[in-house]
Chain A
Amino acid sequence: MTLNRRNLLKIGGAAAALPLLGTKAFAQSEPLKVGFMYIGTINDNGWNYAHNQGRLYLEEQLGDAVETTYVENVPEGPDSERVLRELAQSGHKLIFATSFGYGDYVIKVAEQFPDVTFEHATGYMRSANVGTYNARFHEGRAVCGTIAGHMSQTGKAGYIGSFPIPEVVMGINSFVLAARKINPDFTITPVYISTWNDPAKEADAARAMIDQGIDIIAQHTDGPAALQVAEERGIVGGFGQGADMSAFAPQAQLTSIIDNWGPHYVKTAQAVIDGTWESKDSWPGLAEGEVQIGPYGPKVPEDVIAAAEAVKNGQIDGSFNIFTGPINDHTGAEKVAAGVTLTDAELLSMDWYVEGVIPPA
């Protein structure tokens, strides 16, 4: 029997049916109820899917000590406030809100429920019982950019994004900085499509890129649509986003960046159980295993794999940082001096493009 929420509910139900037998035992080890709030569906193959995998990992690791619930398709707005209160009122003592736009409401509801711990993904506002967490996806982007620099024949990559938020800008910059270390003429063209999930539009964006000489496609939107076009057209390839997407593009997926939220969820839940949780910003990356590089595709030659692994390992042991100067902005003016590394705060508000990015209007 796999341990999932539905089974846990059954177990919970059985316990409730036998109050005389179980009261004491259950009272002592009452499970921590953990709630998750997702912006989309858990079946999106991307962002929400990855968070839900993290939730399942949490159940698997902590077993009876936790009991989890999720609410999906919660819009960023007053609806999220209602769901947060619903979760808090129904006994959830730890709540993960996994989209940026929930921020205002997390802070607001957290004030009303001081004994509940909240964690807000990709946010920046914290309070006594609100922590924030994110993952350094840009470290993975540097690995992808290294592969792109080696393998692209045209030296042109495209990047399908939803909105130009710092998270996305950081990823684009990291990618092209890495690629230009191999091919100094490498360029990347971001295309923002103003939506997180419109697969047909993503696919058309990929077609528009390929038809204009782009042979590597990276994306920051959920879902495998762009990779499937890359596969169909037989270009050099692209990268899985959030999860391994090789099932959709066995040839074209060069590698993937995997969001691995599980360890953070386990660590946080354990801290709440132990009473050691404190409000902080948690921003781990490759070193902590929260960002992982998936298997390399069949087209990636050995020497390129070695180069990619070197970049990955350099970031893991701290010897390499993609955002260490000299870095020029897209006009060619020096933005970061040699030897200087951008701080986390500077990264989190990044709104400028590095050299090699063809800036969108």
Chain B
Amino acid sequence: MMQFRLEKRREPSRFMLYATPVAAVALTMIIGAVIFSVIGYDGIGAVREIFLTPLTNSFKWQDLGVKAAPLIIIGVGLSIAYRANVWNIGAEGQYIMGGLAATWVALASHGAGGWWTLPAMMLAGMAGGAAYGAIPALLKTRLNVNEILTSLMLTYASVQLIYYLVRAPWKDPMGMGFPQTRRFASEALLPNIFPGTIVHAGVPIAIIVALIAWFIMSRSVFGYQMRVVGAAPHAARYGGFSENKTIWLAMLVSGGLAGLAGMLEVAGPFQRMVPGFPTNYGFTAIIVAFLGRLNPLGVIFAGIVMAITFVGGEVAQTTIGLSNSATGVFQAMMLFFLLAGDILVRYRLKRVVPQVEAGA
């Protein structure tokens, strides 16, 4: 019997870093096509529509951009936090609070807005997200409460806050009683950057955010501090970096960026606050951050890959009648392969010649 052993690489493999995501997507396409054919679906058609059509059909590019933008913005923030070993998984809640803060500005200035409305909403969105991220940071630094758990719990509470606000105090007086706010005035709506498309200002902002983050993380003292604290907390302490300061920075940056994404979504595609505003971007972005190898540039590509599966899933429904649940299975399968591929970046697969009597 052939046996393999994993051996840790001294340095993460550059080749594997780029090769494994590609291999994972390819494997998903092949295995997915086989499995779905076996259980009676058009497996090859499913793969074509989910993974290829969004790329080959130029009408779909705008959709990819719009869908990927919030994932990239949130994913960049999370990758900075995760580099520092700060496990903020409540980005969905911070996204919601950013959206709500921006909505508050839009509603309060309704009819009295101007050129300053959007910048104000943007600041409010970032402040809202950062403030919600500050709660786990405070509890972690003061009381050593696990931030994974607090940030997750706060997310569920924030969803209920939307429901309450749109049902009662913020309900559109002209909305026939439906639970939603009024449509924002035009000063509070993001401009489209390409006429005739749906690409709003949030799309270039996402790219800019990722580029700035990449530059800061790889070129600045701040980035160095975040990486050192994450990789070697003890060494960092000797080097004079404060762990608490890093936790605060990580939570405020990741929360603020999630809040920015919330503002861009509500002022862009949504144009008003509705109960359906939480669309799991904050959770999906956790996966995006890992797929992007916690590197802001990788996050751009990971965000686009996730967007492809969302957009492609709907294409597959309209063209070959593949159900929505099948798309979910495809997505999960791809994530499993991608996560599994991670190990090849850090480890080498070595063939072991089994020796007689060698205990397992």
Q: Is A6 an interface residue (CB 8 A)?
A: yes
Q: Could you say which residues of chain B place their CB within 8 Å of the CB of A77?
A: 269-270, 274, 276-277, 279
Say whether A83 contacts B314, CB under 8 Å: yes
Shortest Cβ distance from A77 into chain B, in angstroms?
5
* Contact A348:B176 (CB < 8 A) given known A69-B318, A77-B269, A90-B319: yes
Taking Cβ atoms with an 8 Å cutoff, the residues of A that contact B are 5-6, 9, 35, 41, 69-79, 81-83, 85-87, 89-90, 100-101, 104, 124, 163-166, 169, 194, 348-351
Residue of A nearest to B164 (CB): A194
Shortest Cβ distance from B272 into chain A, in angstroms?
7
Q: Could you say which residues of chain B place their CB within 8 Å of the CB of A75?
A: 276, 279
CA distance A206 to B360 in the complex (A): 57
* Nearest 5 interchain pairs by C-beta: A78-B269, A73-B324, A76-B276, A71-B317, A77-B276
Shortest Cβ distance from A133 into chain B, in angstroms?
15
Say whether B321 contacts A165, CB under 8 Å: no
Q: How large is the interface on B (under 10, 10 to 19, 20 to 34, 35 or more residues)?
A: 35 or more
Say whether B279 contacts A165, CB under 8 Å: no
**How many A-B contacts at CB < 8 Å in the complex?**
83
Say whether A9 contacts B321, CB under 8 Å: yes
Shortest Cβ distance from A249 into chain B, in angstroms?
27
Say whether A351 contacts B318, CB under 8 Å: no
Q: Contacting A164 at CB < 8 Å: which of B177, B271, B319? A: B177
Q: Contacting A82 at CB < 8 Å: which of B167, B311, B324? A: B311
CA distance A66 to B271 in the complex (A): 35
Q: Could you say which residues of chain B place their CB within 8 Å of the CB of A124?
A: 176
Shortest Cβ distance from A41 into chain B, in angstroms?
7
Q: Is B332 an interface residue (CB 8 A)?
A: no
Q: Contacting B177 at CB < 8 Å: which of A70, A89, A90, A166? A: A166
Q: Is B315 an interface residue (CB 8 A)?
A: yes
Q: Could you say which residues of chain B place their CB within 8 Å of the CB of A41?
A: 324-325
Say whether B318 contacts A169, CB under 8 Å: no
Q: Is B13 an interface residue (CB 8 A)?
A: no
Q: Could you say which residues of chain A place their CB within 8 Å of the CB of B318?
A: 35, 69, 71, 83, 86-87, 90
Say whether A104 contacts B317, CB under 8 Å: no
Say whether A194 contacts B163, CB under 8 Å: yes
Q: Could you say which residues of chain A place their CB within 8 Å of the CB of B310?
A: 79
Say whether B178 contacts A72, CB under 8 Å: no
Residue of A nearest to B60 (CB): A86
Q: Is B44 an interface residue (CB 8 A)?
A: no
Q: Could you say which residues of chain A place their CB within 8 Å of the CB of B341?
A: none
Shortest Cβ distance from A108 into chain B, in angstroms?
9
Say whether B274 contacts A78, CB under 8 Å: no
Q: Could you say which residues of chain B place their CB within 8 Å of the CB of A164?
A: 177
Q: Could you say which residues of chain B place their CB within 8 Å of the CB of A70?
A: 317
* Contact A78:B314 (CB < 8 A) given known A5-B321, A101-B274: no
Say whether B323 contacts A81, CB under 8 Å: no
Say whether B317 contacts A78, CB under 8 Å: no
Q: Could you say which residues of chain B place their CB within 8 Å of the CB of A100?
A: 178
Residues 40-97 of B contacting A (Cβ, < 8 Å): 59, 63, 66-67
Contact with A along B293-317 (1 / 0, CB 8 A): 0000000000000000011001101
- Name, among B271, B317, B320, B323, the residue most crowded by chain A CB atoms within 10 Å (CB to CB): B317
Q: Could you say which residues of chain B place their CB within 8 Å of the CB of A9?
A: 320-321
Say whether A351 contacts B177, CB under 8 Å: yes
Q: Could you say which residues of chain B place their CB within 8 Å of the CB of A86?
A: 314-315, 318
CA distance A165 to B275 in the complex (A): 13
Q: Is B180 an interface residue (CB 8 A)?
A: yes
Q: Could you say which residues of chain B place their CB within 8 Å of the CB of A83?
A: 314, 318
